[in-house]
Amino acid sequence: MSKLALVALGGNALLREKQAGTIDEQEQNTTDTLENLVFLLREGYNLVITHGNGPQVGNILLRNDAGETNYGIPQMPLDICVADSQGGIGYMVQRMLLNVLNRHNIQRNIVTLVTMVEVSKDDKAFTDPVKRVGKIYTREQADDLARTKGWKFGKEQRVKDGWRRVVPSPLPVKILNENVIQATAMSGTIVIAAGGGGIPVYYDENGDVRPAEAVIDKDLAGSLLAARIKADEFYILTDVPYVFINYNQPDQQPVEFLNYADTVKYLEQGMFGEGSMAPKIRACLQFIEKGGSKSVITDAFKLSDKKFGTKITMEYED
C-alpha cells in the first residue's frame, strides 16, 4: 500500500522575507517549493498539503479596513477572511502543482478543500487572546474599535508605537471532513486542506456550527490532521535546513536525528524559540504521540535532498 504524507507549507514556502508579496513572487516561491515534492510522488506517496496564510490573511484584513474606511463596505469577520485565504492560496498551490507535475509527466488529480476545524468554546484562549492580526492603530482608533466592535488590543512595539488587534488562538480539536480528506488522498488524489490552520468553528447547544473569531496554529492543525488521517509522515517546510540546538549561540549545532524523549528534553530546556521553532516542535511531537512514524522539519527548497532536515521519531532510527 502507498504511504501517506502530510506536507505543511510554512509562510516562507510561499513568501520569502523582504519580498513585496506580488503574485509573481508567490507563484515562483510556490513552484520552487512544490518541485521538492516530486520525489515523494516518484516514491509512491499519496499527499495531503496544508499551508500557512499569515501575510495573505493580513492583507485581506487590510483590504477589509480600507474598504470600510474609504467606501463604507462592511467588514467581513475573521472566519470569512480565513476562508478567502484558503481559496486563494489553495488555487495558487493547485495551479502551480499542476504545472510542476506536467513538466515531470506525472498524472495526479488535485483538489482544494475549504476546511473547517473544530475548537472548544471553553478553550482558555478565548479569555486570553494573544494572536496579533491586522494593521497598527493609534490609541484613539483602538479605543473606538474596542467600543464599537468589541475588539481587544495588545501593545505592539516591534514595528512602531501603536496598537494591534489580538484574537484567541484555541487548540484544534477535530478536522471536519477528515474522513473525506483521508479517502480522497488514499485514492491517489492530492488534497490541499486546512489552510491557515483551518476555519475555527464550534458547535452550539443546538448542534449548529458557529464561527469562532479566532485563528488556529497552522502547524498544530496540520499535525492533528496528519494523525487523524493516519499519515505515515509529517513534514513542516520552513526557511531553515535543520533544527538547531543552542540556536544563535556560539556553540549552536544542527541536529539531523532526534528521538521523542530528547526532543521533549530540549523543548523543556528552552532550546527552541517560542516565537519560531517551539510551536513546530510541539506539532511534530503531537504527531508522534498520536502514532505517526516520523516528523521532519526542513527548508522548503531542500526537502528532496535527504541529507537536510531534522527527523524526529519515537526512537532513534537504525
Confidence bin at 301 (pLDDT 50/70/90): confident
Active-site residue, selected from the candidate residues 88, 198, 222, 280: 280
Does residue 12 carry a catalytic annotation?
A: yes
* CA distance to 29, 35, 80, 132, 151, per residue, from 148 (Å): 40, 47, 20, 19, 8
> What is the three-class DSSP state of 28?
helix
Active-site residue, selected from the candidate residues 3, 131, 135, 302: 131
Burial 59-90 (b: 16+ CB within 10 A, else e): ebbeebeeeeeeeeeeebebbebbbbbbebbb
Superfamily of domain 4-120+175-313: Acetylglutamate kinase-like (3.40.1160.10)
Section 297-305 average pLDDT = 88
Q: What is the pLDDT of residues 63-85, one digit of tens each?
A: 999 999 999 999 999 999 999 99
- 242/308 Cα distance (integer angstroms): 7
pLDDT above 60 (res 157):
no
Active-site residue, selected from the candidate residues 10, 12, 90, 311: 12
Does residue 131 carry a catalytic annotation?
A: yes
Give phi and psi for 269, each to the nearest 5.
-80, -5
Does residue 280 carry a catalytic annotation?
A: yes
Give residue limits of the domains in the chain: 4-120+175-313, 129-167
Percent of residues, the chain, with pLDDT higher than 70: 97
| pLDDT at residue 318 in the model | 62
* CA distance to 29, 217, 245, per residue, from 221 (Å): 23, 6, 25
Query: Looking at residue 290, what DSSP letter applies?
Result: T
Active-site residue, selected from the candidate residues 46, 54, 64, 218: 218
Q: Point out which residues pair with 313 in neighbouring strands.
A: 259
Cell readout for 182 is 483521508
